[in-house]
Amino acid sequence: MCPDELNVIQYLGNLAIGKTALWCYFIWYLVTVGYYFDPDISIWLNSVGVSLIVGIGLNLSVARGKGVTRDSWQTFRLVIPPRLSQLWMSAGTCVAFIALVYLVKLKRRLKGPK
């Protein structure tokens, strides 16, 4: 193995649960971009503005009372893609990543300390 591969394996072996979740968010984002990518810069700039407006509106719409607490299910459903194939691809790649992290950690545990 080359040193870069060792660094990646070492990184995955030390990856905390919280960072694994953040990687899953990133993977989910990449899959979504893969489905809907368009290289036109004006679309991307417009999308940033629309995302801010819609994101704030959606978060306000799932807020309870004075906007301090949120209904967890209502917030969660905002990230579900409209197509079942996209949902399976996003979830599948996240599960594959989590399995990879688990296998690296399991291998390290079975090898024991050096």
Angle between helices 84-111 and 3-13 (to 10 degrees): 100
* Helical packing angle, 17-36 and 84-111, nearest 10°: 150
Spatial CB neighbours of 75, under 8 Å, sequence gap ≥ 6: 59, 62
pLDDT tens sequence across 55-112: 888 777 766 666 556 666 666 666 777 788 888 999 999 999 999 999 999 998 888 7
> For the residues of 68-95, what is the DSSP string, one character each?
TEE-HHHHHGGG--SSHHHHHHHHHHHH
Tens of pLDDT along 44-66?
A: 899 889 889 988 887 777 666 66
How many domains does one find in the chain? Answer: 1
Report field, pTM of the whole predicted structure over 0.85: no
- What secondary structure letter does DSSP report for 111? H
Alpha carbon distance 24, 102 (integer Å)? 14
The region that residue 80 occupies, defined by phi over 0 for left and psi between -120 and 50 for alpha, beta otherwise, is beta
Range of the domain at 17: 3-111
Mean pLDDT for 18-45 is: 90
